[in-house]
Chain A
Amino acid sequence: MTPAFSIIFFTTASGAGYGLLFVLSLLVFDRALPAAFVLTALAVALTLVSIGLVSSTFHLGHPERAWRALTQWRSSWLSREGVAALACYGPALALGAAVAVGAPRETVIALALATGVLAAATVYCTSMIYASLKTIAAWHDRRVPALYLLLGAMSGLLLARFLLAAFALPAHGLPWVTVAIVLSAAQVKRAYWRAQAEHRSASSLGTATGLDRLGRPRVLQPAHTERNFLLKEFGFEVGRRHASRLRRLAIAFAFGVPLALAALSALPAFALPAATAAVVSAAFGLVLERWLFFAEARHTVMLYYGGAAPAPSRSVPTTGG
């Protein structure tokens, strides 16, 4: 798949924003926090979410019709994502208002938890847009929703650590929760890459044309002389040529460096510089990870053009273990 920068930016930025909303809701539930901190965290989270949402409309042919995408939530994960994303603004903004006017703690907690639930739901819907596509085996994997949720939580935790340090507030156990989530995300990503390498797709040029009845087909004559929409959208090879090097970079910046810095940030003396560097490193690493998520994914339509079988994977609902 050809990576669209607007979608990479949207999924990483809004993932971080919703992650921060989720972590903030748990922090608010956990303890009473200064209003200035909650409002700043909300502003940072909603800015990331909003920039991401606006950026996601850049790749549309008709951004002015984007509102129509809210109508088909019965069948479409993209529509569900839009509905959940907008719905999340309600309790998030109300939470800000409640904190600003000093509303009772029960009200604040109720709004925070509603925000957290809708933030997680939005990220889940985003992941299901990809995981529901049978045509792209690299995405049709039950680990994909887990990864999106874990990476969102990880981004949120790193941002929350940064904000706590900036406000000179104690982190309590947050750095260690972060370490656990980073390790889990890295583990799921490793399992995902291993599954990708191991499994074989059921689709081939033989099944795509039905010519497996006769023997082994190969491309003799391309259907057109120039690149068409399909080749532009799905015929992306650069990512695969450099995949192993880019994967190592993604692992280092998204998981390795943030892991060490999150642990270091438990020491008050290093809290702010370590938390700041962790956010920067993770941002770079996650953009790289998301870029690979697109660049390494193969679509079945490329079989007709002599492409390799889609990167194999287990189907989402049926496998366990």
Chain B
Amino acid sequence: MTCLPKSAPAKKLGLVIDLDICVGCQACTTSCKEWNAGGRAAPVTDYDAYGATPDGVWFNRVHGYEVEDGGSGRTVYFPRSCLHCDNAPCVTVCPTGASFKREADGIVLVDEDKCIGCKLCSWACPYGAREYDEDAGVMKKCTLCVDKIYNANLAPASRMPACVSACPTGARSFGDLGDPASGVSRLVRERGGYDLMPEQGTAPVNKYLPPRARTAEAAPLASAVNDRGHALLKWIDKVFSR
């Protein structure tokens, strides 16, 4: 059924992504590709993978942005993937029932055996979370590694999405955002976690944590040397500036 669950899902599994920590290393995107190439959504097709114009299906993309913040500006790396929205428009537009949101944990999935590849769900998603697989003729998307997080063959510590396991800086956290006592809910509360494009009314489960404000200690380098530097450094600066 492509109607959304009537009652709120018992759990709201999702990610909290800390833009303050992310260094844009692409470990999350490549580990996502690696796990899912053999998982539920396999194959995660590539076209011309070893040629001049490699292209393919990815569930996670890391963009780099520069923010003009009145000072010297800052670089922010921004991982973008499915937000497993409570009010997922990609689900309700699906004409076949292939797209669905699970009542048990809120994960949004595609049943590839039912998908007709009409692409309407990709039109309905504001975030570009869905990518069409030209070879398979069906829509693919982040599964929140549903075949990993519940996998009893894995050690309990490994039962989290591949992107979370792989992140070397700990910028990605996984948990139940429907439980106010969970670690991810606490992070959102304490760090001012927010929704992407709230004006679209999708009620995303995944949250983003903003980069921290800069303190006075992080003022531009030149003034740090001139105004706050050690007396010896000031003397050296003076000598070499002659």
Task: List residues of chain A with CB under 8 Å of any chain B CB.
Answer: 1, 59-63, 65-66, 68-72, 74-79, 82, 129, 132-136, 202-203, 205, 207-211, 213-230, 233-234, 299-301, 304
Docked pose: A224 CA to B59 CA in angstroms: 13
Number of inter-chain CB pairs below 8 Å = 203
Q: Which residues of B contact A304 (CB under 8 A)?
A: 63, 80, 127-128
B122 proximal to A (CB < 8 A): yes
Find residues 178-208 in chain B having any chain A CB closer than 8 Å to their own CB: 194-201, 208
Q: Which residues of B contact A227 (CB under 8 A)?
A: 55
Q: Are A68 and B96 in contact (CB under 8 A)?
A: yes
Interface segment out of the listed B131-139, B143-151, B221-229: B131-139
Q: Are B116 and A226 in contact (CB under 8 A)?
A: no
Q: Are A134 and B126 in contact (CB under 8 A)?
A: yes
What residue of chain A has the Cβ atom nearest to residue B136's Cβ?
Answer: A61
In the assembled complex, how far is the CB of residue B54 from the closest CB belonging to chain A, in whole angstroms?
6
Q: Which residues of A contact B196 (CB under 8 A)?
A: 207-210
Closest 7 CB pairs of A and B: A61-B117, A61-B137, A221-B64, A301-B128, A215-B69, A79-B95, A69-B95
Partner of A223, one of B63, B91, B136, B200: B63
Docked pose: A196 CA to B41 CA in angstroms: 39
Interface flags for B5-35 (1: CB within 8 Å of A; 0: not) read 0000000000000010000100000000000
B66 proximal to A (CB < 8 A): yes
Interface segment out of the listed B71-79, B153-161, B234-242: B71-79
- Supply 5 A–B pairs (Cβ within 8 Å), ascending by A: A68-B95, A68-B98, A209-B208, A214-B76, A215-B73
Q: Are A228 and B76 in contact (CB under 8 A)?
A: no
Q: Are B126 and A135 in contact (CB under 8 A)?
A: yes
Docked pose: A233 CA to B27 CA in angstroms: 27
Find residues 49-97 in chain B having any chain A CB closer than 8 Å to their own CB: 53-58, 61-70, 73-76, 78, 80, 89, 91-97
How many residues does chain B have at the interface if contact means C-beta atoms less than 8 Å apart?
69
Given contacts A65-B116, A299-B123, A300-B126, contact A214 B197 (CB under 8 A): no
Given contacts A68-B116, A226-B54, contact A221 B24 (CB under 8 A): yes
Q: Are A134 and B89 in contact (CB under 8 A)?
A: yes
Q: Which residues of A contact B42 (CB under 8 A)?
A: none
Q: Are B63 and A60 in contact (CB under 8 A)?
A: no
Q: Are B62 and A220 in contact (CB under 8 A)?
A: no
Q: Are B65 and A66 in contact (CB under 8 A)?
A: no
Given contacts A71-B97, A215-B69, A304-B80, contact A207 B197 (CB under 8 A): yes
Docked pose: A221 CA to B66 CA in angstroms: 9
Q: Are A229 and B65 in contact (CB under 8 A)?
A: no
B165 proximal to A (CB < 8 A): no
Q: Are B65 and A133 in contact (CB under 8 A)?
A: no
Given contacts A226-B53, A229-B57, A301-B125, contact A205 B208 (CB under 8 A): no
Q: Are B118 and A217 in contact (CB under 8 A)?
A: no
Q: Are A214 and B211 in contact (CB under 8 A)?
A: yes
In the assembled complex, how far is the CB of residue A301 from the closest CB belonging to chain B, in whole angstroms?
4
Given contacts A69-B96, A203-B197, contact A63 B116 (CB under 8 A): yes
